[in-house]
Structure 1
Amino acid sequence: MGKLSTHVLDITLGKPGVGVKVELYAVEAGGKTLLKSEVTNLDGRCNAPLLEGAAVKVGQYELVFAAGDYFDAQGVTLPSPKFIDRVTLAFGIADPEQNYHVPLVVSPWAYSTYRGS
């Protein structure tokens, strides 16, 4: 069975994003359901997969990262309101047998993602 994982890389400081709150939502026609809330560890990763085994299902999901709070905690001077605050990555899982790694590469001014394995 597959799994879903993530990590955060702070490209402003060139290090893992430690202590970033990450929320995982399932997205359906009726709205969103919070499946899990985690905080990244010293490696910028969650301690366990966000989903694994039978919990990985075909569907639409969102990962929401509290990037603005993270940069506040790092002492980065930001405008108010922040340009990058809560980063939402919307993605789909088409094959629950595969591994989906959805990382966030972030600064106070930009972010990107990709599908890893």
Structure 2
Amino acid sequence: MGISTHILDTTLGRPATGVPITLARLTDGKWSPLNEATTDADGRCKHLLPTTETLQPGIYRVHFETIAYYRQHKLNGLYPYVEIVFTVTEGEQHYHIPLLLTANGYTTYRGS
């Protein structure tokens, strides 16, 4: 299944659309880019891991280019980007990494 994400703007109470996202994996101490995507009308990227890749154990990073979203909505955001680094363990088939966003803060958790 892979890796997916969802961004909700908790200030406006709606999905954060049009946010550029990149996915990378740590390999031999360096980040290797895997994919680029943009959140859809529901604030989602359902297939962040490319279909040509299998989910491997290791350390991954999702980079959210939040400044693009802030500019789109004429907001002054504190964080120009958010990076979430997480560990994929053996035997797992899917990771959902949501981002709850405001102009001055954010939070994340492992979703389902």
Same fold (TM over 0.5): yes
Runs of 4+ in structure 1 over 2 Å off: 51-54, 95-98
1:41-60 maps to which residues of 2 (within 5 A)? 41-46=40-45, 48-51=46-49, 55-60=54-59
Point out where structure 1 has 5 or more consecutive residues left out of the alignment.
none
Point out where structure 2 has 5 or more consecutive residues left out of the alignment.
none
Indicate if the aligned counterparts of 2:24 and 2:32 stay in contact, CA closer than 8 A. Answer: yes
The answer to whether residue 103 in structure 2 is matched with residue 108 in structure 1 is: yes
Q: Distance in 1 between matches of 2:70 and 2:60?
A: 25
Deviations 1:86-107 (A, max 9, x none): 1000001003443210011111
The answer to whether residue 61 in structure 2 is matched with residue 66 in structure 1 is: no
User: How many residues in Structure 1 have an aligned counterpart in Structure 2?
Assistant: 111
Q: Distance in 1 between matches of 2:53 and 2:35?
A: 15
Indicate if the aligned counterparts of 1:3 and 1:96 stay in contact, CA closer than 8 A. Answer: no
Deviations 1:9-45 (A, max 9, x none): 1112110010000100101333101100000000001
After superposition, the CA RMSD in angstroms is 1.7
1:24-39 maps to which residues of 2 (within 5 A)? 24-39=23-38
Sequence identity percentage: 35
Structure that is richer in strand per residue: 2
SS at match of 1:70: helix
Q: Distance in 2 between matches of 1:10 and 1:65?
A: 13
